[in-house]
C-alpha cells in the first residue's frame, strides 16, 4: 500500500511541476505582446514584422550628408555599409517655372489684325508701340493737337510707361534716324524729342510715304539703315528731351519726315477687337473751326466710365482729308454713350452709338449743337485694299 501511495505521489508531483512550468512559460512569452484593435493578442508570427529595426552597427545613415571619399570607403569595417539603398526621388514632386511680372494694364481684347481698313476711308495700318501687358493707349490730356510748353502744339500722342519699358516697331520698315537731334538736326542732346527713332515704312498711303517716330527714349537698340519688322524692339522708354516725366511720344508722319507733316495716331493705330473710335469736326455757329480748345466728355451708359478730349490747337497739326476732324478719342468699347459739352454758356448733349472696328463721326456747330453724320459704310462685297508701297 505504501508503494502505491509513493507511486501516486511521484506521478502527481511531476504533473504539478509540469503545469507550473507551462504557466510560467506562458506568462513570460505573452508579457510583451500588444493587444490588437479587437482586444485579441497579436499572433506570434507578427512579432517579427513589428519589431523595431536595429540601429546598432549601421554607420551610414539612410540619407548621408556627404559621400565618403574612395580611401575612406574601402577602409570601412561595417559589413552592411552601402547595402541600404537610397530612397527613390519623390514621383509627385513638380518643379514650376518662376512667375513673370504681373501685367501693368487691365485686360483688353486683342487688336484687329493689321492692316485694318473696314471702309475705303480708314487706315489702321499700325500695331501698338508698347506691348499689351503695359498701358499702350494715350493719356487723355496728352492727345494729338494739345497745347503745351508756351503754345507748342502736340504733334503726337503720349503713352504713359515707366523708364526701361521696351518700345516696339509699329510696322515694317527701315530706320532713318536713331539718336538725338531729330527736331533741331545734328547730334543735339538738348533736342526736345531727346533720344528718338524714326522708321520709314515699307508701305504708304495714297502714294505718300509713311513714317513713325518714337521719342524720349532712354536707350536705342537699332542703327540707322537697319530694317525692322512690326513688333521688333527699338529700345527702351525714358524721359530724355523736354518732358515732365517718363513716357513714350509716338508720331505718324505722312509724305515727309517733318514736324509739320504729322497725322493723328489714333486714326492709324489698330483698335482692340469690338472697340471703336470717335472722331468729330467741331465748329462755331458760322462753320469755322474753333480758335480755343473745346472740352468734350464722353460717358458710357453701360459702365458710367468717362473719357475726355479737347479739340486741336492751331498750327502744326493736320486733319484727315476725309474726316476733316479736330477731335478724336480712340479705344472706346462698343455701345451707347452720352456726349456732352458747353458752348456760349449753354450745355449740349447727345446720345450716340459707338460701333466696333470703325470711326464713328459727329459734327458740332456752335448754337446749332450736335449732328450725327457717320461716314458712309462699305457694301457687303467690299474688300479692304492692299497698302501701297511708296516709291523710293
pTM above 0.85, yes or no: no
| CA of residue 24 relative to chain centroid, distance | 82
pLDDT at 7 over 80: no
CA dist 193 and 137 (Å) reads: 19
The dihedral of CA 18, 24, 28, 29: what is its sign? positive
Reported as a single tens digit per residue, the pLDDT across 21-57 is 544 444 444 444 444 444 444 444 344 434 444 444 4
In the predicted model, what is the mean pLDDT of residues 50-79?
45
pLDDT for the residue 258: 92
Q: Please state, for a pLDDT cut of 90, what percent of the chain lies above it.
A: 57
C-alpha angle with apex 259: 253 to 261, nearest 5 degrees?
40
E strands, 301-373, in order:
306-310, 327-333, 335-343, 346-354, 359-365, 370-372
| CA of residue 117 relative to chain centroid, distance | 26
Reported as a single tens digit per residue, the pLDDT across 83-126 is 555 555 555 555 556 665 555 556 789 999 999 999 888 999 99
- Give the residue from 164, 167, 171, 155 showing the smallest Cα distance to 129: 167
- Give the residue from 390, 103, 147, 387 showing the smallest Cα distance to 270: 387
C-alpha cell at 258: 517733318
Block residue for cell numbers 490588437: 36
pLDDT for the residue 292: 87
Query: What would you measure as the largest C-alpha separation in the chain, in angstroms?
Result: 159
- Non-local CB neighbours of 191 within 8 Å, separated by 6+ positions: 180, 181, 182, 183, 184, 241
- How many alpha carbons lie under 13 Å from residue 289 in its C-beta half-sphere? 15
pLDDT for the residue 60: 42
pLDDT for the residue 108: 84
Block residue for cell numbers 495716331: 265
- Give the residue from 203, 211, 197 showing the smallest Cα distance to 168: 197
Q: What is the mean pLDDT of the chain?
A: 79
pLDDT for the residue 105: 55
> What domains are defined for the chain?
106-114+271-379 (2.60.40.10), 125-269 (2.70.70.10)
pLDDT for the residue 335: 97
Reported as a single tens digit per residue, the pLDDT across 160-186 is 999 999 999 999 999 999 999 999 988
Distances in Å between the Cα of 11 and the Cα atoms of 8, 71, 256 are 5, 70, 133
Reported as a single tens digit per residue, the pLDDT across 265-277 is 999 999 999 999 9
pLDDT at 130 over 50: yes
- Give the residue from 141, 144, 139 showing the smallest Cα distance to 313: 144
Amino acid at each position: 500500500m505504501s508503494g502505491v501511495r509513493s507511486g501516486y505521489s511521484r506521478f502527481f508531483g511531476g504533473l504539478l511541476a509540469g503545469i507550473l512550468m507551462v504557466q510560467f512559460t506562458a506568462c513570460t512569452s505573452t508579457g510583451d505582446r500588444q493587444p490588437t484593435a479587437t482586444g485579441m493578442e497579436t499572433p506570434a508570427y507578427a512579432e517579427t514584422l513589428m519589431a523595431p529595426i536595429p540601429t546598432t552597427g549601421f554607420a551610414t545613415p539612410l540619407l548621408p550628408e556627404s559621400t565618403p571619399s574612395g580611401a575612406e570607403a574601402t577602409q570601412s569595417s561595417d559589413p552592411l555599409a552601402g547595402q541600404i539603398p537610397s530612397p527613390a526621388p519623390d514621383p509627385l514632386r513638380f518643379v514650376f517655372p518662376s512667375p513673370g511680372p504681373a501685367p501693368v494694364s487691365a485686360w483688353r481684347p486683342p487688336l484687329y489684325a493689321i492692316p485694318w481698313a473696314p471702309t475705303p476711308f480708314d487706315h489702321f495700318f499700325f500695331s501698338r508701340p508698347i506691348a499689351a501687358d503695359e498701358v499702350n493707349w494715350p493719356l487723355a490730356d496728352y492727345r494729338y493737337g494739345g497745347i503745351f510748353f508756351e503754345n507748342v502744339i502736340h504733334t503726337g500722342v503720349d503713352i504713359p510707361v515707366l523708364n526701361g519699358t521696351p518700345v516696339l516697331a509699329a510696322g515694317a520698315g527701315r530706320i532713318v534716324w536713331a539718336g538725338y537731334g531729330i527736331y533741331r538736326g545734328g547730334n543735339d542732346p538738348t533736342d526736345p524729342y531727346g533720344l528718338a527713332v524714326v522708321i520709314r515704312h515699307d508701305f504708304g498711303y495714297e502714294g505718300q510715304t509713311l513714317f513713325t517716330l518714337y521719342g524720349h527714349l532712354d536707350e536705342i537698340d537699332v542703327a540707322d539703315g537697319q530694317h525692322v519688322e512690326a513688333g521688333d524692339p527699338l529700345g527702351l522708354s525714358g524721359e530724355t528731351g523736354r518732358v515732365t516725366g517718363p513716357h513714350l511720344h509716338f508720331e505718324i508722319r505722312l509724305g515727309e519726315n517733318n514736324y509739320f507733316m504729322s497725322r493723328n495716331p489714333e486714326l492709324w493705330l489698330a483698335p482692340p477687337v469690338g472697340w471703336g473710335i470717335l472722331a468729330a469736326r467741331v465748329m462755331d455757329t458760322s462753320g469755322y473751326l474753333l480758335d480755343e480748345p473745346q472740352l468734350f466728355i464722353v460717358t458710357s451708359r453701360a459702365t458710367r466710365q468717362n473719357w475726355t478730349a479737347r479739340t486741336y490747337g492751331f498750327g502744326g497739326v493736320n486733319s484727315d482729308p476725309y474726316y476733316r476732324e479736330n477731335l478724336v478719342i480712340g479705344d472706346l468699347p462698343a455701345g451707347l454713350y452720352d456726349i456732352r459739352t458747353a458752348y456760349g454758356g449753354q450745355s449740349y448733349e447727345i446720345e450716340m452709338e459707338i460701333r466696333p472696328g470703325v470711326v464713328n463721326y459727329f459734327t458740332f456747330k456752335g448754337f446749332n449743337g450736335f449732328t450725327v453724320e457717320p461716314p458712309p459704310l462699305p457694301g457687303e462685297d467690299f474688300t479692304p485694299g492692299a497698302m501701297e508701297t511708296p516709291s523710293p
